[in-house]
Amino acid sequence: MSTAKQLPRWADLILLPLVGLAAALLLSAGIIALLGESPTQAMKLMVDGAFGSQDSIGYSLFYATNFIFTGLAVAVAFHAGLFNIGGEGQAYIGGLGSGLVCLWLGNWPFWAVLPIAIAGGAGFGAAWAFLPGWLQAKRGSHIVITTIMFNFIASALMTYLLVNVLIKPGQQSPETREFASGTWMPFAHEMLARVGLNFTSTPLNFAFVLAVLASIFVWLFIWRTRWGYALRVVGQSHDAAVYAGISPARITIMAMSLSGALAGCLGLNELMGSQHRVLIDFPGGAGFVGIAVALMGRNHPLGIFLAAVLFGALYQGGSQLTFDMPRINRDMVVVIQGLVILSCGALENMFRQPLTVLIGRRSVSPARKS
Amino acid sequence: METYTLIVLLLAATIRVATPLLLAALAGMFSERSGVIDLGLEGKMLGAAFAAAAVSATTGSAWLGLGAGVATATALSLLLGVACVTYRGNQVVAAMAVNIMVGGLGPTLAVAWFNLGGQTPQLDAAGQRFTAIVWPWASVARENPFPGLLYAELLSGHNLVVYFAALLVPATAWVLYRTRFGLRLRAVGENPLAVDTAGISVTALRYQAMLISGALCGVAGTYLSVAASSGFVRDMTAGKGYLALAALIFGKWRPYPTLAACVLFAFTDALAARLQGVSLPLVGIVPVQFILALPYLLTVLLLAGFVGRAIAPRAIGVPYSKEK
């Protein structure tokens, strides 16, 4: 394929992911039709289930909060040319960090606990990603493989800790005791009630605001600081980075640590905001949804926010769907998620080529008028 | 004597656990040697496990189940080929997409077709499963601890797929190191430009590798649902695809060392099941989770060069483009 024509920037950033999403949804509709249900009816139910009431909006945004954190984590590593598929493990270990803080500082006031809990989650998550980053930078171990291995090691470690160490005495299920209520994230309905607004009781909580702040922080960091600049240079070209006096090894370690810190914040929403205890497998695949979210959102915080809301809506709408269509179960949402990763990520070039032919501009024709 | 019997039974369990790992690792050997990172082993196995159990349950034939398993995994492998070879997409992204999609699709179809909460029906009728093949005089030999028990437990008493997997190791070694196809396959993973310059199609070679990988993953998945257990359950691969990949890396992308790695990993798994809550002399109770995490820890240490060095095929993960 010749590179004489190129996609304009807006098409690359907005049209291409939308076309990919449309293709994924069309395929999903085909699967739903094959299962003997009406795709249009299913779509209607899902949209209604995701945004139809205050209750569903609250749940959609609650799920979205998790995905913002894990999506940002994937994106930060991606800008440095690294593929972090360890978000799941980093979120798991990070949640342990926040959880321990909440268990220990139960009688502290919330606003004193919060910064320490954030530091705990981000710190533990960062530490779990630091190791693969360090191994990649200093020992040349492939980051994709090590982060996968670290997911399994995290899972084994957490099972051990929850079954043998942290379990609430006299209880069967491997989970800690409940956090003291003073350390719970304020719920959105409580906060809105304080300013006189009525909102149904949902798990949506203050962590959503933290996720938005994290998005802004990532934007500032990547595009407005010298570290972010160095990170992008390393992602574009190792040689250029070395030539510019940037150490790719240091940037790799930094990017992975920041990525892990972001994933580690998942516990702020899931544990401090909703479960109020540390329990087995609480990330529930959110680390992998982060890959889809980052791809869909073009690794830009604004795109990630929108994609996370979309996936939050898919999760909430999907659980609604299973109530009304017994032949379709929750796993359909996972199928859609996989299809989105496929069409927005792996098969991107399949859509890029025809789009470029249709609306591409010549990139090497400075003499051209208009 | 008691300990001896225990060890023999432990080794027999190791063989059973090692079989799907070995099949998947050898599948990955073909694709990775051709230059395609095969994280999709997990999804291909899982898809095959579902298809094999579903077809065996409806038709009553384990062989038709095997056919369906192989066909499904091969189709998924071709999908990866289209994404990674033809459209030169990111191989890790493509594989994660397939793994996640299949993880959802299996239970979705199972609920719609069988309505058993994401499982397939139990395979208990004759012919629906690959059952153990008992070798002549095995039950007589069992009376004699050595070598009779070894014969009865280790050689005899496995299903067809186990023997197939064992034969596949020398077969793979022969294909990789003694045939023209093997030479080209190894070359295309190291230096595709050289292969292309010699007038051999890089695309065709990589597609062939993906086909073989898919077919072998199909057998591995079929083993899980139709031979080792009786039916498909949600997420039944439970990371075996990734563990197989770890074994492949641990075996440095070579057939016999990979076999050794699979046996080692399977042994830790079988040992963990045995040591659940057992107190050992000197060390006390070993946490099962630690033993289960051991293969992953070892792989990380190996990749870091602390125990030996694993060097991947040089062109792995890089889509080949004629123009660049």
- Taking CA atoms, what residue in A is nearest to B287? A160
> Which range, A35-44, A105-114, A341-350, B165-174, is most confident?
B165-174
Answer yes or no: is pLDDT of B15 > 80: yes
Residue A330 burial by Cβ neighbours in a 10 Å radius (0-12, 13-18, 19+): middle
Range in A262-266, A337-341, B77-81 with the lowest mean pLDDT: A337-341
3-state helix, strand, coil in chain A (%, to 5): 75, 0, 25
What's the pLDDT band for A367 if we cut at 50, 70, 90? very low
> CA-to-CA distance for B112 and A332, rounded, in angstroms?
11
Interface test with A, best of B76, B101, B299 (most A CBs within 10 A): B101
- The residue that leads in pLDDT, B210 or A4, is B210
Token pair 């830009």 in the structure block, residue: A300
What's the pLDDT band for A1 if we cut at 50, 70, 90? very low
Cα–chain-centroid distance for residue B205? 22
Token pair 């470029």 in the structure block, residue: A356
pLDDT at residue A363, rounded to an integer: 58
DSSP at A183: G
- Taking CA atoms, what residue in B is nearest to A294? B93
> CA-to-CA distance for A117 and A103, rounded, in angstroms?
10
Contact between residue B17 and residue B250 where contact means Cβ atoms under 8 Å apart:
no
Q: Where are the domains of chain A?
A: 68-297
Q: Once rounded to an integer, what is the mean pLDDT over residues B128-157?
A: 84
**Domain for residue B150, yes or no?**
yes
**Domain for residue B311, yes or no?**
no
**Domain for residue B259, yes or no?**
yes
The separation between the first and the last C-alpha atoms of chain B, rounded to the nearest angstrom, is 66
**Domain for residue B312, yes or no?**
no
Q: Which domain holds residue B28?
A: 2-303
- Interchain proximity B103–A334, CB inside 8 Å: yes
**Domain for residue B314, yes or no?**
no
What's the pLDDT band for A369 if we cut at 50, 70, 90? very low
Answer yes or no: is pLDDT of B4 > 90: no
- Give A202-223 as a DSSP string: -S-BTHHHHHHHHHHHHHHHHH
**Domain for residue B310, yes or no?**
no
Range in A42-51, A87-96, A119-128, A228-237 with the lowest mean pLDDT: A42-51
Token pair 């999907």 in the structure block, residue: A318
> CA-to-CA distance for A306 and A18, rounded, in angstroms?
12
Instruction: Please name the member of B101, B239, B296 whose beta carbon is closest to the beta carbon of A335.
Output: B101
Which ipTM value was assigned to this complex? Answer: 0.89
User: Among residues of chain B, what percentage have pLDDT more than 90?
Assistant: 61
Domain of B263, CATH number, reads 1.10.3470
> CA-to-CA distance for B13 and A257, rounded, in angstroms?
40
Per residue in A23-72, pLDDT tens?
A: 999 999 999 999 888 899 988 998 999 999 999 999 999 999 999 999 99
Answer yes or no: is pLDDT of A365 > 70: no
What's the pLDDT band for A73 if we cut at 50, 70, 90? very high
**Domain for residue B136, yes or no?**
yes
Q: What are phi and psi of B257, to 5 degrees?
A: -60, -35
> CA-to-CA distance for B183 and A96, rounded, in angstroms?
49
**Per-residue tokens: B246:** 């770890």
Instruction: Please name the member of A150, A156, A346 whose beta carbon is closest to the beta carbon of B94.
Output: A346
Per residue in B21-78, pLDDT tens?
A: 999 999 999 999 999 999 999 999 999 999 999 999 999 999 999 999 999 999 999 9
- Interchain proximity A141–B304, CB inside 8 Å: yes
> CA-to-CA distance for B45 and A301, rounded, in angstroms?
35
Average pLDDT over chain A reads: 91
Q: Once rounded to an integer, what is the mean pLDDT over residues A355-361?
A: 82
Per residue in A146-167, pLDDT tens?
A: 999 999 999 999 999 999 899 8
Q: How far is CA B247 from CA A89, B71, B300, in A?
A: 21, 25, 11
**Domain for residue B316, yes or no?**
no
How many domains does chain B divide into?
Answer: 1
